[in-house]
Structure 1
Amino acid sequence: MIDVEPMFTRSDGDYLFARWGRPIVPVVFGVDDATLSVVKGAIEAVVVLAGHQMAETDPELGVNLMMFVFREWDELVETPDLDRLVPDLGPLVVRLKAAEANQYRHFRFDETGAIKAAFVFVRMDAEMEQVPAEDIALAQAAQTILLWSDVAFRDKGPLARIGENVVLRPDIAAVIRAGYDKVMPSAAIDPSHALRLAARVARDLPV
């Protein structure tokens, strides 16, 4: 049986799971029209995999999944009103620059603990420049559909190569489907939740 608990156990030791509690309404900044179609296609594919929904607008927020693609972290500080959406944006940018990070995801939650908004930041450094747009989009969509641990993909990303194609790892796809099972909660902090996920994943994955 796949070990699901580490996927949602954060670096501080706390177990924390959350999925989207509302339809996803994405917008992408910093890309051309062709890349925009690629990104939205990847998001839609992962949403369909999860059995979740997308929508044209969010009644509370308008859009609730914002992806920013840029060259330098300082560009975020210069983006109007972004500091109102992402708390402590200035200090966050300083930390990300110091870590030489090329991606970051920030989530907001509703009163039940479910995800209500996400902000995805992708810095196109030399490493990212070598990755096809389709792969970047699919990886970010997968990492945004659930609140994974902050170290879940530190050693191994969510994608796998099968022949000439890059796809979601089967175990990650199975966890996403399990996480959106209608009988499962939208948020959980008890590690026993991982056992319920793992049981569903075991039924989903081929032997």
Structure 2
Amino acid sequence: MTPDQIEALFTRENGDFLFARWGRPIVPIVFGVEDATLSTVKGAFEAVVALAGHKMAETDPELGANCMVFFFRDWQELLEVPDLDRLIPDLAPLMDRLVAADANQYRVFRFEEDGAIRAAFVFLRMDNELSKVSAETLALSQVVQTILLWSDTAFRSQSPLAVAGQTTVLRPDIAELIRAAYDPVLPGAAREASHALRLFARMKPVQ
């Protein structure tokens, strides 16, 4: 992966470069799934967090859980979740936009004062398309897209995952970039495109 390719993964559609990683241990909670899927999602979090060299915790002292994953059938169901409108301002207008766009997934991030990720909300509307995806693949894909603040265009043309034999795995170049992004020497957030060079310098060649 070249520095330009890394820069593109964090350059938003409006041209702004914005990089952020988690600044606190991740405490995930999953709604709307059976126990088997719950363990799959939590397993994906554990694997990706371990890859990053970051930490998970049982509880966040300020928020309780700071990474909420919702599985549901209809966007309107979210309006019935107690206190969700307090966590996500303008929830009703957002739901209207997502319904109009026929979206099946959406992620919302909250940030620390220094710009690092403080909390994330992952919404998955299980339409026909997402229902065809295995729980393992869907969980890994969502966790990867939540471990860093990627560009809104980062994975439009190519998934962060790849198929190895019969197994879906994280692309080696993306895995190496995640590992580099959590180097303790680097800041938790950056708005200068030159940060892509710092990430590149910490990446090991992918075999």
Per the alignment, residue 147 of structure 2 pairs with: 145
| Unmatched segments (≥5 aa) in structure 1 | none
Cα displacement string for residues 75-97 of structure 1 (whole angstroms, at most 9, x for unaligned residues)? 11121110111121111111111
Question: Which of the residues 19, 33, 36 maps onto 1:31?
Answer: 33
Q: TM (normalized to structure 2)?
A: 0.97
Distance in structure 2 (CA, Å) of the matches to 1:87 and 1:170: 37
How do 1:54-133 and structure 2 match up within 5 A?
54-133=56-135
Distance in structure 1 (CA, Å) of the matches to 2:114 and 2:161: 30
Give, as a single letter, the amino acid of the residue that structure 2 aligns with 1:120: V
Q: SS of 1:4's equivalent?
A: helix
Cα displacement string for residues 1-33 of structure 1 (whole angstroms, at most 9, x for unaligned residues)? 422000000011100000000000010000011
Q: Give runs of ≥4 in structure 1 deviating > 6 Å.
A: none
User: Could you say what the CA RMSD is over the residues aligned between the two structures, in angstroms?
Assistant: 0.9
- Range with greater deviation from structure 2 (22-31 or 148-157): 148-157
Note the C-alpha offset of 1:204.
Answer: 4.0
Aligned residues with identical type, % of pairs: 67
Question: Which of the residues 167, 172, 194 maps onto 1:192?
Answer: 194
Number of residue pairs aligned between Structure 1 and Structure 2: 205
Question: Which of the residues 35, 44, 47 maps onto 1:45?
Answer: 47
Distance in structure 2 (CA, Å) of the matches to 1:139 and 1:9: 20
Q: TM (normalized to structure 1)?
A: 0.97
Note the C-alpha offset of 1:171.
Answer: 1.2
Give, as a single letter, the amino acid of the residue that structure 1 aligns with 2:109: F
Note the C-alpha offset of 1:199.
Answer: 2.1
Distance in structure 1 (CA, Å) of the matches to 2:76 and 2:161: 29
Distance in structure 2 (CA, Å) of the matches to 1:92 and 1:23: 28
Question: Which of the residues 154, 157, 161 maps onto 1:155?
Answer: 157
Give, as a single letter, the amino acid of the residue that structure 1 aligns with 2:90: D
| Unmatched segments (≥5 aa) in structure 2 | none
